[in-house]
Structure 1
Amino acid sequence: MTTIAVTGHTDLSEATVPLVREAVRGLLREHGRGELVGVSCLARGADTLFAEEVVEAGGRLVVVLPSRDYRGAKVKPDHAPVFDRLAAAAEVVTMPYDVANRHAYEAANTEMLKRAERLVAVWDGAPPSGKGGTADAVAQARALGLPVDVVWPVGSARGA
């Protein structure tokens, strides 16, 4: 059994989505059906793409929600159906925060990395912001000695 967490940008351009999806699919192919656990916060973009590919690969999904209000406060209506479908098929762990904020995101990253053997980072290499974002999770994983697979295919861009 291999447990892989994900961090990544929420604002992938439309053209980047299939590039990232194929790259993540390639990374997950290394694991046989039933031998994979994926850990995700299910944010729009990279987190959700990764979660969909884990489920498609026959893996088990663990969702780490940063706060009790995350679904209502942060999940936009157009993202809600896929969020709800994936969350319903997963083990859900909710961090002990009422409100989604920097502290809640940092705690969620820590929980994901605590559960993981490696991290997939859909990341353009931008420096950390200190707010629990992608680069912060990558830095934390590296500090813990976790292997990090950076996914940023040629032609990828952040956008809408």
Structure 2
Amino acid sequence: MRYGVTGHRVLPAGIADCAVAHWRRVLPAGSALVGVSCLAEGADQLFAAFVLAAGGRLEAVLPWAGYADSLTGDGSRARFDDLVRPATTVLTMPDATPRERGFLAAGQTLVDRCDHLFAVWDGQPARGVGGTADVVAYAKQRGCPVTVLWIDGVRRA
């Protein structure tokens, strides 16, 4: 089985711990674990790091060539580099204008490559094309099981 992730780039306090605790409970360790991530800041990098630390294999789906240069959060570019290097597969979407099309294409490709999607998501509409809500909607349309990981009452900034 392949497990994918979609989620917010900025995670409020407690959400990362909630997601990691869930993954520890339900995911296999070692080579039986295959994770698919777009390696964005926040939930994507958190899941990718978890997969690699558990001894799993990582597949990366990037929204466009040079995507790493768009990562501006504290340390997110360095984490991206550390995560993409050991990935067994790296798929890069064709360059798109506007860039949001690249996010949507990557999210849809991620869903098409996984058997189960984890959404570190507050349940709110996407703030841009290809956001978490769009990826979750696509997964549901495709019949891909989705597990939402969030804490009731927590709001994102």
- Tell me the matched-pair count: 156
1:107 paired to 2:105: yes
Q: Which runs of 5+ in 2 are unaligned?
A: none
Given the alignment, which residue of 38, 61, 65 partners 1:41? 38
Residue-by-residue CA offset, 1:31-64 (whole Å, 9 max, x unaligned): 2421111000111111011111111221100111
Match of 2:156 in 1: 158
TM-score (norm 2): 0.89
Q: Which runs of 5+ in 1 are unaligned?
A: none
Matches within 5 A, 1:24-39: 24-28=23-27, 31-39=28-36
Change (3 A) 1:128 1:13: closer
Contact 1:9–1:46 under 8 Å retained in 2: yes
Change (3 A) 1:14 1:99: farther
Deviation at residue 75 of structure 1 after TM alignment: 4.4
Matches within 5 A, 1:101-140: 101-129=99-127, 131-140=129-138
Match of 1:22 in 2: 21
Rounded to whole Å, the distance in 2 between the matches of 1:13 and 1:86 is: 22
Change (3 A) 1:100 1:55: farther
- The secondary structure found in structure 2 opposite 1:34 is helix
Rounded to whole Å, the distance in 1 between the matches of 2:155 and 2:69 is: 28
What CA RMSD, in Å, does the superposition of the two structures yield over aligned residues?
A: 2.0
Q: Which amino acid aligns with 1:139?
A: A
Deviation at residue 100 of structure 1 after TM alignment: 7.1
Deviation at residue 107 of structure 1 after TM alignment: 0.7
TM-score (norm 1): 0.87
